[in-house]
Amino acid sequence: MDRSEYIKYIRYTVGEYNSAKKNKLFSLLKNEGIITTEENNQTSFLNQDSIKVDKLDIYESILKAVNRSDKAIEVYEKLQFSEHYKYSAIFTSNNFEQITNVVEHIPNYRFSNDISLYDTLKNPQKLLMDNKIVIKFNKKYRAIHPQKGEEMFLDYPVLLVIHTKEELMEIRLDSISGVFVEKNVQSIYAEIIKELIDYMENNYNIELQPLDIRFIRGQIEKASNIRIIAQNMYMFEGSKAQLAVGNNTNYVMPFIGDLRELIRSNEIIFKDSKDILEKFIKEKEELAEYPWIQIEIFGDNKDQNIKEKIIFNYMNRGYCVIQHYNNSIVEGMERMNNVVKYIKEYIGEAKSEQ
């Protein structure tokens, strides 16, 4: 793929970024001295080769930079290693030490004018970040805009993050517009995850084993910094219920949570039936299946709270998918890393209780 063709993919891909992600890329380009605005022209010494973008908006500034500078493209590519993605799936392995040794053979990331995007997952590169090995694949998608008739080009990164401290592996991928795929979008995510699992097994003899985290619901109920704020329940007798706390600041779940609060607040009235009611609630919860739950992880203040949706046994594939909701305050890969850290802690707590 030549450079002009690659720019088409970058142009559309960056255009689909949300404002926070565009701002992040713009800031990185400015910090690297690749672009300059009137503001930092007055406050700092700049490289003579800096690209002036005084009268351009953020998106146009980014496009001007990548059109003129290979260094700007490198910044764009490296950001893909550390950015926030919408979906992730977590896996484990029986021989984690072997995995870290094997992936040493995957080449380290370096910018190259020999640009390649692929229709399938292949030729990954890796970047070492803290206690993580981040392996990146780049798929390409093309489509025709259904209204405008214009051709669209998508650079679609897929990551395998090896958390060496937690000894867990995580596949990260972003949302994709339905115009790029012929099938149901949800099934496409499952197919990409399967493609990556197969690639690692066929090329590196690494088996990604799904991590069953259904136990996490019980662990979250005991935690002080996380609450379940919504859940989908399939009752043992066949009925279904989708419950959410809504704007309830006490995080009391409708029906079951309300009933618990009623018993707690009226112990005298319910003294003869308390055990029966509590047994009823416990059986309802323990015998139910939960296709998904939504959780809220508390930060130092409310603006830093993050919400995650955990979909169990995604598309009947045996693994769980975590949907990461946007938060303008907590951005980048940090929030995804924190979720993995919490899961590892809960695994330890669950084992200690067995």
Task: Write out pLDDT tens, residues 273-319.
Answer: 777 666 666 666 665 677 888 888 887 777 778 889 999 999 999 99
Amino acid identity for residue 277 in this structure: L
Determine which of 20-34, 38-52, 211-225, 233-247 has the lowest per-residue pLDDT on average: 38-52
| Cross-strand pairs, 231 | 243, 293
Helix, strand or coil, per DSSP, at residue 14: helix
pLDDT given at position 331:
67
**Residue 147: what pLDDT?**
84
**Angle formed at CA 274 by CA 268 and CA 277, multiple of 5 degrees:** 140
Tokens 């704020």 sit at which residue? 229
Question: What is the chain's mean pLDDT, rounded?
Answer: 85
β-strands 132-144, 125-129: how paired?
Answer: antiparallel
**Whole-number Cα distances in Å, 59 to 21, 84, 152, 243, 334:** 11, 19, 17, 40, 24
Q: How many whole angstroms separate alpha carbon 260 and alpha carbon 152?
A: 53
Write down the residue that tokens 């939504």 correspond to: 294
**Pairing assessment for the beta strands 289-297 and 226-234 based on DSSP bridges:** antiparallel
Residues 6+ apart with CB under 8 A from 305: 296, 297, 298, 299, 327
Length of the chain: 354
What are the pLDDT digits (tens) for 115-156? 889 999 999 999 999 889 999 999 999 999 888 888 999 999
Q: Are 152 and 173 in contact (CB under 8 A)?
A: no
Q: Give this prediction's pTM.
A: 0.86
Is the CB of residue 324 less than 8 Å from the CB of residue 308?
A: yes
Helix (H, G, I), strand (E, B) or coil at 147: coil
Give the β-pairing of 289-297 and 321-324. unpaired
Reported as half-sphere exposure (CB side, CA atoms, 13 A), residue 332 has a value of 9
According to DSSP, residue 49 is labeled: T
DSSP assignment letter at 180:
G
Provide the 8-state DSSP code for 110.
-
Task: Check residue 58 and give its pLDDT.
Answer: 95
C-alpha 101/C-alpha 111 separation (Å) is 24
**8 Å CB contact between 111 and 130:** no
- In angstroms, the CA 249 to CA 259 distance is 17
